[in-house]
Amino acid sequence: MITPTDMLDEFNENEPLYREFAESIGRLAERLLADRKFAVHTVVTRVKTTESLRTKLLRLDAGYGNLADVTDLVGVRIITFFSDDVHRAADIVQSEFEIDRERSVDKGALLDPDRFGYLSLHFIASLSPERLRLKEYSRFANMRVEIQIRSLLQHAWAEIEHDLGYKTKNAPPPSIRRRFSRLAGLLEIADSEFQEIRRASISYRESVIKRIVETPEDVSTNTASLIQFVQSNGVVRSLDEDLAKFGNASLKLRTSFIETRVEELASLGLSTISAIEQALHSHRHEIRLLGKNFLEDGGLMEISRGISLLYLEYAVIGQGASEGRDLQEFLDRFEIGWPEQRAEFAGKLLTILRAASS
């Protein structure tokens, strides 16, 4: 008869293999998600500790005949950003792994209506026969992994609940259980609202493309609208390409660069897409001249699409200025460049702009 001690000895002897298996499954999960362009928060792997396994094996109701009966020796946790992504990730897992349906659990389906706690999907999985034929996976035959999938808020709940030491429904006193129940409802509402915000954001990005073309005067400047403008507007594209040629650099859209421009443009009165487009037309010559002076031989390998918007800001703020103070105040306000170089940079900008207008 195999005893718990025998199983612990077997586990300790093969622990390095279990760790290799965990790391391999984690990398595979990350690759499968990335191949489908599915962004998740994290993929975390773990191997059961000897102490945790000992506790599990010695439980009165354990009933394990051998080590292979313990299905959670290796675990992989996929944490998604949104709760509606949990089942999307589950579809990928089920299509790529062999799933033990009898031992896999949808904790959401088992949760009592008044049960505090948060939800997750638990799959007991093994590698498919096709993958096991590959050299990198062949040593993992007959090994299983518990794959948990939960949202970021679900994960936060579970981690805090675990840290508080409440692992079962009836562990806390009734007064604390009631507080858990109220909090669970709030988190469920928060999760739902985050999903709705994502849907609304996607809908806005899709609709703003058409609105930029048809009624640009009605489209306010924000990150989403400015990104679509930079990607679709011919004037921006033409100016950006000219500036990239000056610097012998490639162009790549950087969301953070565009996001930074939103507040700066609004401070100059350019708070609609129409106003920005008109300003670009008015200051094309100055933008090119500034770009030629600052980007030529600058040694940059890559610049962001929308670079013309930054030089537009300099052209607008410098228009009609008799000295570089206004430009320097703008640079200081938005923390552009090194503080000790801003005065000199503002002076150089003004010199170039004066030459452009003469």
Is residue 13 within 8 A of residue 33, CB to CB? The reply is no
pLDDT of residue 301: 85
Quickly count: other Cβ atoms within 10 Å of residue 25's Cβ.
24
What the chain holds in terms of domains, given with CATH numbers, is: 4-191 (3.30.460.10), 215-357 (no CATH)
pLDDT of residue 140: 95
Q: Is the dihedral of CA 7, 12, 14, 20 positive or negative?
A: positive
At residue 86, φ and ψ (nearest 5 deg) are -60, -45
Q: Is the dihedral of CA 292, 293, 297, 303 positive or negative?
A: negative
Q: How many Å apart are CA 119 and CA 201, to the nearest integer?
A: 26
E-state strands within 211-254: 250-252
Q: How many Å apart are CA 328 and CA 341, to the nearest integer?
A: 10
pLDDT of residue 291: 92
pLDDT of residue 174: 77
Is residue 78 within 8 A of residue 41, CB to CB? The reply is no
Q: How many Å apart are CA 239 and CA 230, to the nearest integer?
A: 11
For residue 67, give the amino acid letter.
L
pLDDT of residue 114: 44
pLDDT of residue 117: 45
- pTM for this predicted structure: 0.70
The overall longest dimension of the chain from CA atoms, in Å, is: 97
pLDDT of residue 354: 86
- Would you call 159 exposed, middle or buried from its count of C-beta atoms within 10 A (0-12, 13-18, 19+)? exposed
Q: How many Å apart are CA 351 and CA 324, to the nearest integer?
A: 9
What stretches in the chain show pLDDT beneath 70?
Answer: 60, 106-119, 165-171, 298, 320-324, 358
Is residue 80 within 8 A of residue 40, CB to CB? The reply is yes
pLDDT of residue 320: 65
- Check residue 337 and report its DSSP letter: S
Q: How many Å apart are CA 100 and CA 105, to the nearest integer?
A: 10
